[in-house]
A and B are shown apart, each in its own frame.
Chain A
Amino acid sequence: QKEVEQDPGPLSVPEGAIVSLNCTYSNSAFQYFMWYRQYSRKGPELLMYTYSSGNKEDGRFTAQVDKSSKYISLFIRDSQPSDSATYLCAVNRDRGSTLGRLYFGRGTQLTVWP
């Protein structure tokens, strides 16, 4: 079983739509949860970072973590064509020999059309 599962899409929405991206993870030892955005031919860039359960909001982006169901989500409100990219979820432990090793989902390719 992979550490993180993510539906690869692709997902295509009109400008202004609310986008919901989701991942599930397998190990309750994961405590840190991240969403990265990756444009074509670029490296991933950190979009949202949360610790443990709860919500975190940053502008049009909201990250949610539900540790009871091992489920993480990213919501994008008022989506823009510039949001078109691949969105990768990632998880990390908070201690141990693998501290620093991020486990990534396979990414969801999002297209926002005008």
Chain B
Amino acid sequence: EAGVAQSPRYKIIEKRQSVAFWCNPISGHATLYWYQQILGQGPKLLIQFQNNGVVDDSQLPKDRFSAERLKGVDSTLKIQPAKLEDSAVYLCASSPRLSKGDTQYFGPGTRLTVL
């Protein structure tokens, strides 16, 4: 079974530029999560989708971050404009259903550096 795919793996941009990340979850997984992991910290949930609907986006900085999951499969996370403090690894995870933690599978992440 293929895992969670993410691209690009690395991205370097200057502050105030825009950037987008893509995630393809495990086939058949209804729930998709985007986490932000700043160096030296644990991942923090940004947004959670159930199929193509948002379940939890209370920790998403909506003035600059946006995410969508069209057709309930792939998802994109966008930052516009980027700030220095957005430098982090952006992790996508998926689970077959809304998960209590036992079935969240993580992708390799996209490492973003904002200069």
Chain A residues in contact with chain B, CB under 8 A?
4, 6, 8, 31-32, 34, 41-46, 49, 88, 90-92, 94, 97-102, 104-107
Contact A46 B43 (CB under 8 A): no
Interface residues of B in 86-101 (CB under 8 A from A): 91, 93, 95, 98-101
Given known pairs A4-B42, A98-B56, A101-B45, the reply for A45 and B101 (CB within 8 Å) is no
**Pairwise interchain contact B42-A105, C-beta atoms closer than 8 A:** yes
A43 nearest in chain B by CB position: B106
Known contacts A44-B91, A100-B56, A101-B48; is-contact A32 B42 (Cβ 8 Å): no
Residues of A close to B101: CB separation below 8 A = 32, 34, 49, 90-92, 102
> Chain A contacts of B105 at CB under 8 A?
46
Interface size class of B (residues with CB under 8 A): 20 to 34
Given contacts A43-B109, A44-B106, A46-B104, contact A102 B98 (CB under 8 A): no
A8 touches B104 (CB 8 A): no
B26 within 8 A of A: no
Check A97 against B56 for contact (C-beta < 8 Å): yes
Per CB-CB distance, the 6 closest pairs between chain A and chain B, nearest first, are A104-B42, A43-B106, A92-B101, A32-B101, A49-B102, A101-B45
CA of A46 to CA of B95, assembled, Å: 12
Measured CA separation A84–B42 after assembly (Å): 17
| A88 x B42 contact (CB < 8 A) | yes
